[in-house]
Structure 1
Amino acid sequence: MGNQLKFTDLLAVFIGGFFGGIARYEVGQLLHDGTSLLGTTTVNVVGSFLLAFITYGVVIYLAVPNWLIVGLGTGFIGAFTTFSTLVVNLLLNVPSRPAYAITIFVLNLTLGLLAAASGYAAALALGRRRKA
């Protein structure tokens, strides 16, 4: 069965995507920001942390079924993050505010990488704690 698509995986992605989209919307509402760059940056940074933590921590240290991994990673986090909105906002800002657009781009890349590294470190700490 290797790489064959399974109904449970597809259903998990669908359900995860549903809740990830709702979470994305709620973060935008909480920040009173709709689709501006504050909400976009927030969900992308949080999503980077969660994806690294889940990919490394959950997969390596916990015995969970594949459908849960794809449901959380591809489904929830895929719908929660919004890198396409970031790109659209950057392209809209480049003609009139190029320095701002470049700053936002670098900020998002830097914070995203730091968040992913933090998620990885948190997963390592979880693994050490479980082994102790």
Structure 2
Amino acid sequence: MSDGTAADADGSTHALARVEPLALIAVGGFVGAVARHAVALALPATPLPWGTLAANVAGSFALGVLLYEAHLADALSPETRLVLGTGFLSSFTTYSTFAVESAGLDPRLLVANVAANYALAFLAVLLGRFVARVISRW
């Protein structure tokens, strides 16, 4: 097959080739979730959940680099993008934890936490895009 996947005699994709992307995502997801937990333990949780904020901002930056790298330079393999993007970074960043932690905050801190997560994560994606553009010009 032209896409590099193994094919059976009848031309269908081999079962292991169909499972490989899921396994790559699972491994990346496991490592990302453990890394996020480590960040949450390393940073204080009061007055704001700093670990979740740090993970969301750092992960958004990395995802910005990864996705724009794919668009601009296309240097990474699809498998690498699966492990890093869909697996690791999607587990490292976390909307659900952010939402639950925000709901438990004092209303003023809730607004600050929501604003910080959205604004800083968005700026981190833009910075990641900028870095990917710089890298793609090398």
TM-score, structure 2 normalization: 0.80
Whose Rg is larger?
2
* Residue 102 (1) aligns with residue 111 (2): yes
Gaps of 5+ in 1: none
Q: Which residue pairs with 1:26 in the alignment?
A: 38
Structure scoring higher RCO (CA < 8 A, sep ≥ 6) equals: 1
Match of 2:61 among 37, 40, 49: 49
Moved over 4 A (4+): none
Indicate the SS of the match to 2:36. helix
- The letter for the 1-side match of 2:85 is G
* Cα separation, partners in 2 of 1:6 and 1:67, compared to 1, 3 Å: farther
Aligned residue number for residue 100 of structure 2:
88
Amino acid at match of 2:119: T
Distance 2:83 2:71 in 1: 13
- For these two proteins, the number of residue pairs brought into alignment is 124
Q: CA deviation at 1:122?
A: 0.3
- Residue 78 of structure 2 corresponds to 66
Alignment RMSD (CA, Å) = 2.3
User: Secondary structure, in 3 states, of the residue corresponding to 2:137?
Assistant: helix
Paired AA for residue 77 in structure 1: L
Q: Partner residue of 2:10?
A: none
**Structure 2 contact 72–133 (Cα < 8 Å) conserved:** no
What are the ranges of 5 or more consecutive residues in structure 2 without an aligned counterpart?
4-12
Higher helix share: 1
Instruction: Give the superposition deviation at 1:32.
Output: 5.0
State percent identity of aligned pairs.
Answer: 32
The answer to whether 1:112 aligns with 2:121 is: yes
Q: Counterparts of 2:42 and 2:100 in 1: how far apart (Å)? A: 22
CA distance in 1, matches of 2:134, 2:72: 12
Displacement of 1:24: 0.9
- Give 2:7's aligned residue: none
Given the alignment of the two structures, is residue 9 of structure 1 paired with residue 18 of structure 2, yes or no? no
The separation in 2 between residues aligned to 1:63 and 1:82, in whole angstroms, is 27
